[in-house]
Structure 1
Amino acid sequence: MSAPHAPGSGAHLVARSVRVQIDGTEILSGVDLDVRAGEVVALVGPNGAGKSTLLATLAGDIAPTCGTVELDGRPVHDWAVRALARERAVLLQKQGLAFGFHVEDVVRMGRAPWHRTPRQDADDEVVTAALLRADVASLAERLFPTLSGGEQARASFARILAQETPVLLLDEPTAALDIRHQEALLTACRELADTGCAVVVVLHDLTLAAAYSHRICLLASGRVRADGPPATVLTAALLSEVYEHPVEVLDHPHGPVVVPVRHDHLSAAPRSLRAEEVS
């Protein structure tokens, strides 16, 4: 699958002084964020921090109350719908398919923006590659509603891979996945960034965010508390403050490992599970 932009070619998405108010409640307040070609940016933060709202605002699905969001130098709301769909793909937390489409048909929906263009000729090849990359080729003939939550998430990821856009916006794509598929999905994100794509991914698992993102944007109460490399953002002091729970941050060759501090009675294994008593 192709990527129209080379790594490091500049910022795809630029948010400046973004404020979003919904039903009288301020969800985002003065958010600045640049998302550049060739990088994975993880949005992290506690529940209600504004992560999904920021992602939707970057996508153009929510109009900011104040401030601007630009995609390749143009206000995101100035883009025509089809043109926008050729530039950015969005994976939502919840899958909204109400009908019993086969998985292959769901993935093929990602090709819709390229209908009646020269790139339509590659539809079959691209869909096949996306099914394989998301590990759902064996599910191609299954009806989407019959899949498990994790299988649906992988099929939906395959759909946005098939869309072949230079910007991918993913909202908690790993939430329903097992360890193997979490690693595979985020590896695919890094590989796409290596080809020049810009990837923004909302994650709750801070250790996964540290391992796979180039930058982490930490949100709290609708504001950016920190934005930078994982080792800079993921400090015990800052995370303990933002999440209102004590954490430790351990050094690991693949990046920081974030561990919540637990009560003493949870730190010792039950007698029946203690290693020294297992023969």
Structure 2
Amino acid sequence: MLRVQDVVVAYGERRVLDGVSLEVSPGELVALVGPNGAGKSTLMGVMSGDVKPQRGHASVDGVDVAAWRAKDLARRRAVLTQEQRLAFGFSAVDVVRMGRAPWARTDREDEDDRVVAESMLRTDVVHLAAQPFPTLSGGEKARTSFARVLAQETELVLLDEPTAALDLRHQDQVLAEARALALGGRAVVAVVHDLSVAAAYADRMAVLHGGAVVADGVPRDVLRPDLVGEVYEHPVDVVEHGGRLLVVPHRLHTTPTPQEETPWSSAR
């Protein structure tokens, strides 16, 4: 459904993406992981059609994203960006309803009310329906925007850091919904920073480092202490707990015990 071929994106002298290729098929959730500055969001921009590469291309259903008409592409892929900004005080339910815009004046328009209500229920934002979007917390905005993506009902879903502003419960809720989309036959790509969370929900993990994909496979093959430690420049342990992989970073500093003298305690 989605193919990225030999993509190069450069800003001045800096190559953010350097020959990246990746394929995503219907029915799978692919987590993009990697350190800050690895090129994850830029790759998502290429996939969505918002970033034009200097070389290579991204295609949806075999057609270059740049060749799609905007409305037709909006019926094939939905995008959740990192920042959730609106200049006007739309209510939360109005924001979710924006996801139905591509289906205006089609037979699917009759389903708008049902789809919007179900999407808000699935993201736990029903109680926020009448609230102005700008007044919501960061996590509430993120869940409302995710509800908009669900309401768009596309076969390809691109999520850029969908859990960044969320608490523990809602992180699991959002990724469980993303997983459900994949189980339902959608192709889902999500940028996820928490490697343990990504491993719990993703079918595949693609590791970006220095603008290149340095690993791509099932979580158990990708999450090796040597690879993760090298990519993140920080030593880690990878352990299994309850059938799930957990990435545990080595702590560089320890918290002083109550008996240990500290500069601030001696100054009192």
TM-score interval for Structure 1 and Structure 2 normalised by the shorter chain: over 0.9
**SS in structure 1 at match of 2:124:** coil
Is 1:251 matched up with 2:240? yes
The aligned amino acid for 1:62 is V
Instruction: Report the Cα offset of residue 120 of structure 1.
Output: 0.5
The aligned residue for residue 120 of structure 1 is: 109
The aligned residue for residue 201 of structure 2 is: 212
Instruction: Report the Cα offset of residue 255 of structure 1.
Output: 2.4
Answer whether contact 1:45 1:219 (CA < 8 A) is retained.
yes
Aligned counterparts, 1:114-193, within 5 A: 114-193=103-182
The aligned residue for residue 9 of structure 1 is: none
Instruction: Report the Cα offset of residue 271 of structure 1.
Output: 6.2
Instruction: Report the Cα offset of residue 270 of structure 1.
Output: 4.9
The aligned residue for residue 227 of structure 1 is: 216
Is 1:105 matched up with 2:115? no
Instruction: Report the Cα offset of residue 21 of structure 1.
Output: 1.2
The aligned amino acid for 2:187 is A
The aligned residue for residue 19 of structure 1 is: 8
Is 1:45 matched up with 2:34? yes
Aligned counterparts, 1:36-75, within 5 A: 36-75=25-64
Per-residue CA deviation, residues 220-277 of structure 1 (Å, 9 max, x unaligned), is: 01000100000111110001101011111111234210011013634x86569xxxxx
**SS in structure 1 at match of 2:254:** helix
- 7, 10, 20: which one aligns with 1:31: 20
CA distance in 2, matches of 1:122, 1:271: 65
Instruction: Report the Cα offset of residue 25 of structure 1.
Output: 1.9
CA distance in 2, matches of 1:136, 1:265: 39
Unaligned 5+ runs, structure 1: 1-11, 273-279
- 231, 238, 259: which one aligns with 2:227: 238
Unaligned 5+ runs, structure 2: 261-268
Corresponding residue pairs, total: 260
**SS in structure 2 at match of 1:265:** coil
The aligned residue for residue 7 of structure 1 is: none
CA distance in 2, matches of 1:51, 1:98: 26
CA distance in 2, matches of 1:137, 1:217: 34
**SS in structure 2 at match of 1:98:** coil
Q: Quick one: percent identity of the two aligned structures?
A: 55
CA distance in 2, matches of 1:206, 1:89: 24
CA distance in 2, matches of 1:209, 1:33: 18
The aligned residue for residue 77 of structure 2 is: 88
**SS in structure 2 at match of 1:53:** helix
TM-score by length of 2: 0.94
TM-score by length of 1: 0.91
CA distance in 1, matches of 2:227, 2:30: 19
Q: RMSD across aligned C-alpha pairs, in angstroms?
A: 1.4
CA distance in 1, matches of 2:148, 2:57: 29
**SS in structure 1 at match of 2:189:** strand
**SS in structure 1 at match of 2:9:** strand
CA distance in 2, matches of 1:202, 1:25: 22
The aligned residue for residue 192 of structure 2 is: 203
